[in-house]
């Protein structure tokens, strides 16, 4: 980011700086803001209170309220004798060994590589969850007649998913004891020395009740930062309920990761099998002319490690005619090409990638491909459509419902998801019981043309054994038993014909493996009549997968990793190939007659942006997309702020109109007194003032303005200020930068927040902020949300330096 912003000094100034003049002092104006203690230290909690959390005790565990026995579902519908065994974890994997010698990614150590980094992420999340523990925390309790209780507890940070909690997760409670003066009790002698009656047990047995309540989350009220818990075993007698205060912990639900670990083992088994077949054939690489390479043993390898051998060659320039009548008739040229290539499978047996920068319609393209596949491609009957988040999956289902009947499409949800989270428009496409979401009966599940779910919830199909491998193995095994004298099958027809993943760059690779294994063909089946398709749409230059570790290979999605492989990156149509080859930015992204024969591109680059004013689009296009983006947004939606008086330089014509401001802010950043996070009070005032001016002009509404910051404490401060008596702008959206992926607003006000360079190095280590961000993904998200105006508030010296090391201290 910094080098790119520095380069713009020599270009025509599209961003107008205003605010305080730049500081000329040697220390950048920071010396007077220095502190004499560790600003990263955690709030102080007495050790005797902390230690209670590690003590053993009698445990009361609240049972799960919502669960499905997925294993039983598979056995009931497919039986147990014909189902293939599930690959076991590699016995050679050792976390300790990987710590000493970290594995590199390759087909031979795929499982070890991702298991090591997944285990490291789990440990970091456990440490992070431990940091969210609440001590001596007051709660509200409602006792029930069945011996259980309902507890309501306020959890600071819950609104921003710190901690991230879902229904039916475990929350661990330890009740503390206090004397009549409100002091924490202490055991003064062994318990055995006191008379064993209720009175002495209550007042001399130590600072807590020695009961551990493993409660279950009944409801998550993020707007109020409240959790409602069901607690088994908590009664008025056991609780001494006259002063209810607890130590509260948030254990990490390891079941979120166990399915990924199992998926890694299955993928590794498939990769090793492909290697074994190659070695047995006595060849150094997979032969593309081998019929087996079109299907079973090499399919997973071709999806994860594609090479030129997986591609088809294009001998002629495409005619430009299209076979399919579109459901969405306004698709542009690049979107039509993506649809034709994906549906025709003309590119080979490898993932087809759709690179969709912000506002270019990648989700629209995926929807069109899904409809064309199930309705107009004879070889495709059933597809799995996924996205990394529940909200993105809901969007897919919502867009499809205009074309699909409830009997044709299923929106599959995990049982712990609440009904209120799902839009009313798609509830009829979900299968539910009275209290939860569920898997439909087997025959009904098999009849859907499209199943829409999140990448994570695809594990339900895996655990229920509803995969291509399981279904085909049972089918062929049953046929062999019924007709033992029939000759072996020479071809195989699978149930799942395609996997489509939208927003694929936001999913970790282990997450993407879950739906991938649902559609993967059985390795021992005969030649397939149709090899399953893998089609992914995303943007590797926006937000990466969210992790607790600030730097981990898990932040690189399968989508991004594939695009860096030579078969994609070195293709003449690749976005950045033109810069490496010395081609001008105006060179067309099409195959010319002089290029053929050439490998058919297994990707499409979407380039037409229908969201932003050209000036807003220029910077992200240059920084992240090799200057390939074309502004196509209508002038009526992007020039509405032409007459706003807040522009430092009043435009005289549309060609002179640059709706961009960088406000130089010298206000120091600060840390909340309890170590809660970084904020910048002066910057918050500036941002709210801009929002007030914009709304007062009458040119935009409150709902069209978004104020964002990469620091959660600054978000809280701005949110409180914008809704205070001073501003009273309740409709202005305020949130962390990460929350705006996929959204758009008329005006974006980006608060950098950080103003002292001495902390930027630590920010980079922790993955905080946008200053000095290595890949610039957060910055790209912020810049590309705006349709008609962008205002950035920050310290000029900090964001315009070429290298943060040059920043004066």
Nearest alpha-carbon partner for 704 in 641, 748, 640, 646: 748
Q: Which of 228, 255, 282 is the last residue of a domain?
A: 255
* Distance separating alpha carbons of residues 286 and 21, to the nearest angstrom: 63
* 120 confidence band (pLDDT: 50, 70, 90): very high
- Partners of 359 in the β-ladder: none
Look at residue 807 in the predicted model and tell me its pLDDT: 36
pLDDT of residue 484: 85
Q: In which band, very low, low, confident or very high, does the pLDDT at 543 lie, cut at 50, 70 and 90?
A: confident
283 part of a folded domain: no
Number of compact structural domains in the chain: 3
Of residues 679, 703, 700, 657, the one with CA closest to residue 793? 679
Which of 352 and 183 is assigned the larger pLDDT?
Answer: 352
- pLDDT tens-digit profile of 484-515? 888 887 788 899 999 999 999 999 999 999 99
SS3 19: strand
- Element of type H or E holding 635: helix 635-638
CATH of the domain at 230: 2.40.30.230
Does residue 651 share a domain with residue 686? yes
Binned at pLDDT 50, 70 and 90, residue 319 comes out as: low
Looking at the structure, do residues 597 and 627 belong to the same domain, yes or no?
no
Which has more pLDDT, 583 or 626?
626
Number of separate helices (H) and strands (E) present in the chain: 26, 29
Q: Flag whether 757 is in a domain.
A: yes
- 590 and 624 fall within a common domain: no
- Beta carbons within 10 angstroms of residue 491's beta carbon: 11
For residue 673, what pLDDT is reported? 66
- Same domain? For 637 and 554 the reply is no
Within 13 Å of residue 198, how many CA atoms lie on the same side as its CB? 4
For the stretch 257-299, pLDDT in tens is 999 999 999 999 999 998 988 887 765 444 444 433 445 789 9
Question: What is the tens place of the pLDDT at every residue in 520-536?
Answer: 999 888 888 888 999 99
Q: What is the pLDDT of residue 146?
A: 79
Per-residue pLDDT, 314:
79
Asked if residue 423 and residue 549 are part of one domain, the reply reads: yes
* Helix H or strand E encompassing 136: strand 134-138
Sign of CA dihedral 453, 458, 460, 466: positive
Residue 595 shares a structural domain with residue 619: no
The answer on 215 and 121 residing in a single domain is yes
The band of 148, judged by pLDDT with boundaries at 50, 70 and 90, is confident
Q: Are the C-beta atoms of 450 and 519 separated by less than 8 Å? A: no
* Band of residue 723 on the pLDDT scale cut at 50, 70, 90: very high
* pLDDT score recorded for residue 299: 94
Q: Are strands 140-143 and 148-154 parallel, antiparallel or unpaired?
A: antiparallel
Same domain assignment for residues 327 and 433: yes
| Other CB atoms within 10 Å distance of the CB of residue 493 | 14
Do residues 791 and 749 lie in contact, with contact meaning Cβ atoms separated by under 8 Å?
A: yes
Instruction: Report the distance separating Cα 201 and Cα 173, nearest Å.
Output: 20
Q: Give the least confident one: 46-55, 197-206, 224-233, 301-310.
A: 197-206
Mark whether 365 and 507 lie in a shared domain: yes
Task: With a cut of 90, say whether residue 584 has pLDDT above it.
Answer: no
Q: Which residues pair with 239 in a beta bridge?
A: none
626 and 599, same domain (yes or no): no
Q: Map 163-176 to HEC letters.
A: CCCCCCCEEEEEEE
Residue with tokens 């009273």, as numbered in its chain:
728
Sequential DSSP letters for 574-624: STTHHHHTT--TTS-SS--TTT-SEEPPSEEE--EESSS-HHHHHHHHHHH
Q: Is residue 281 part of a domain?
A: no
| pLDDT at residue 769 in the model | 80
Same-domain pairing of 107 and 141: yes
Comparison of pLDDT for 240 and 364, the residue scoring more: 364
Nearest alpha carbon to residue 458 among 413, 428, 408: 413
Predicted confidence at residue 194, as pLDDT, reads: 46
Domain boundaries, position 592: 291-605
Cα 257 off chain centre by? 15
With b for 16 or more beta-carbon neighbours within 10 A and e for fewer, the 411-444 pattern comes to: bbbbbbbeeeebeeebeebbbeeeebbbbbeeee
Q: Binning pLDDT at 50, 70 and 90, where does residue 242 land? A: low
Q: Is residue 501 part of a domain?
A: yes
Please, what is the end-to-end C-alpha distance for the chain in angstroms?
20
Tokens 């920071």 correspond to 30
With H, G, I as helix, E, B as strand and everything else as coil, classify residue 774. coil
Nearby residues of 561 by Cβ (< 8 Å), 6 or more positions away: 509
Beta 598-599 vs 660-664: how paired, if at all? unpaired
Supply the pLDDT for residue 617. Answer: 92
Q: For the ranges 232-241, 406-415, 431-440, 549-558, which has the lowest average pLDDT?
A: 232-241
261 is a domain residue: no
Query: CB 481: neighbour CB atoms within 10 A?
Result: 10
pLDDT of residue 425: 96
Q: Is residue 695 part of a domain?
A: yes
Three-state secondary-structure class, residue 311: strand
From 539, 573, 605, the end of a domain falls on 605
For residue 491, what is the domain's CATH number? 3.40.50.300
Select from 560, 583, 605 the last residue of a domain: 605
pTM score, two decimals?
0.87
Q: In sequence order, what are the residues at sequence separation of 6 or more whose Cβ sits closer than 8 angstroms to the Cβ of residue 454?
A: 386, 387, 388, 389, 390, 392, 393
pLDDT of 197 over the 50 cut: no
Amino acid 184: pLDDT:
80
pLDDT at 681 exceeding the cut of 50: yes
Backbone angles phi, psi at 262, to 5 degrees: -65, -40
Q: Does 683 map to a domain?
A: yes
Q: What is the distance of C-alpha 189 from the center of its chain? A: 52
3-state secondary structure of 561: helix
* CA distance linking residue 588 with residue 621, whole number of Å: 16
Q: Is residue 115 part of a domain?
A: yes
Give the residue among 135, 173, 138 at the shortest CA–CA distance from 154: 138
**376, 517: one domain:** yes
DSSP label at residue 295: S
């Amino acid at each position: 980011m910094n080098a790119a912003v520095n380069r713009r000094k020599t270009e025509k100034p599209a961003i107008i700086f205003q605010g305080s003049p730049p500081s000329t002092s040697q220390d950048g104006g920071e010396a007077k803001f220095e502190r004499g203690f560790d600003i990263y230290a955690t709030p102080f909690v007495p050790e005797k209170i902390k230690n209670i959390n590690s003590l053993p005790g009698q445990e009361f565990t609240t049972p799960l309220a919502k669960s499905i026995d997925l294993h039983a579902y598979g056995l009931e519908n497919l039986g147990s004798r014909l189902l293939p065994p599930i690959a076991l974890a590699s016995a050679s994997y050792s976390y300790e060994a990987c710590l000493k010698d970290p594995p590199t990614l390759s087909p031979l150590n795929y499982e070890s590589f991702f298991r090591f980094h997944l285990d490291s992420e789990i440990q970091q999340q456990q440490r992070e969850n431990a940091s969210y523990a609440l001590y001596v925390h007051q709660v509200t309790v409602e006792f029930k007649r069945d011996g259980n209780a309902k507890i309501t507890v306020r959890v600071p940070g819950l609104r921003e998913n710190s901690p991230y909690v879902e229904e039916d997760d475990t929350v661990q409670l330890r009740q503390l004891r206090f004397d009549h003066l409100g002091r924490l009790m202490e055991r003064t002698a062994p318990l055995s020395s006191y008379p064993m009656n209720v009175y002495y047990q209550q007042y001399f047995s130590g600072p807590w009740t020695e009961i551990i309540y493993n409660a279950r989350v009944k409801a998550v009220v993020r707007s109020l930062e409240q959790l409602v818990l069901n607690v088994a075993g908590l009664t008025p007698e056991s609780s001494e309920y006259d002063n209810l205060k607890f130590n509260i912990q948030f254990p990490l639900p390891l079941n979120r990761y166990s399915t990924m670990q199992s998926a890694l083992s299955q993928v590794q088994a498939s990769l090793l099998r492909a290697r074994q077949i190659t070695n047995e054939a006595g060849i150094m690489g997979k032969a593309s002319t081998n019929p087996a390479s079109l299907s079973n043993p090499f399919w997973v390898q071709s999806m994860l490690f594609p090479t030129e051998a997986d591609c088809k060659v294009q001998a002629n320039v495409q005619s430009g005619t299209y076979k399919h009548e579109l459901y969405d008739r306004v698709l542009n040229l690049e979107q039509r090409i993506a649809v034709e290539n994906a549906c025709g499978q003309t590119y080979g047996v490898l993932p087809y990638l759709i690179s969709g920068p912000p506002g270019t319609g990648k989700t629209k393209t995926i929807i069109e491909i899904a409809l064309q596949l199930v309705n107009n491609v004879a070889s495709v009957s059933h597809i799995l459509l996924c996205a990394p988040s529940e909200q993105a999956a809901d969007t897919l289902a919502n867009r499809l419902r205009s074309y699909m009947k409830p009997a044709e499409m299923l929106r599959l949800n995990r049982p712990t998801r609440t009904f209120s989270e799902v839009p009313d428009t798609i509830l009829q496409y979900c299968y539910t019981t009275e209290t939860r979401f569920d898997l439909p009966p087997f025959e009904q599940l098999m009849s859907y043309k499209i199943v829409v779910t999140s990448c994570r919830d695809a594990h339900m199909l895996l655990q229920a054994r509803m995969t291509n491998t399981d279904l085909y193995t049972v089918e062929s095994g049953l046929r062999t038993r019924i007709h033992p004298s029939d000759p072996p099958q020479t071809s195989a027809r699978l149930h799942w014909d395609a996997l489509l993943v939208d927003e694929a760059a936001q999913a970790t690779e282990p997450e993407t493996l879950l739906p991938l294994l649902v559609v993967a063909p059985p390795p021992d089946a005969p030649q397939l009549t149709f090899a399953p398709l893998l089609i992914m749409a995303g943007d590797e230059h926006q937000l990466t997968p969210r992790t607790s570790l600030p730097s981990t290979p898990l932040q690189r999605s399968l989508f991004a990793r594939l695009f860096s492989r030579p078969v994609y990156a070195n293709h003449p149509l690749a976005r950045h190939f033109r810069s490496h080859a010395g081609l001008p930015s105006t060179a067309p992204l099409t195959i010319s007659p002089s290029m053929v024969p050439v490998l058919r591109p297994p990707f499409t680059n979407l380039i037409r942006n229908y969201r932003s004013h050209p000036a807003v689009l220029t910077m992200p296009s240059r920084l992240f997309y090799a200057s390939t983006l074309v502004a196509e947004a209508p002038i009526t939606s992007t020039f509405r702020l032409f007459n706003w008086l807040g522009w430092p330089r009043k435009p005289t014509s549309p060609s002179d109109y640059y709706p961009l401001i960088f406000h130089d802010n010298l206000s120091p950043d600060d840390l909340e007194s309890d170590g809660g996070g970084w904020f910048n009070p002066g910057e918050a005032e500036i941002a709210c003032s801009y929002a007030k001016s914009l709304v007062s002009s009458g040119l935009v509404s409150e709902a069209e303005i978004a104020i964002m910051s990469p620091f959660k404490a600054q978000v809280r401060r701005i949110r409180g200020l914008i809704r205070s008596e001073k501003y009273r702008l309740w409709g202005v959206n305020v949130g962390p930068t990460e929350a705006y992926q996929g959204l758009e607003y008329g005006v974006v006000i980006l608060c950098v927040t950080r103003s002292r360079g001495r902390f930027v190095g630590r920010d980079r280590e922790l993955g905080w902020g946008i200053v000095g961000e290595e890949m610039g993904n957060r910055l790209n998200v912020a810049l590309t949300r705006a349709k008609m105006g962008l205002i950035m508030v920050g310290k000029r010296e900090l964001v315009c330096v070429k290298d943060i090391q040059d920043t004066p201290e």
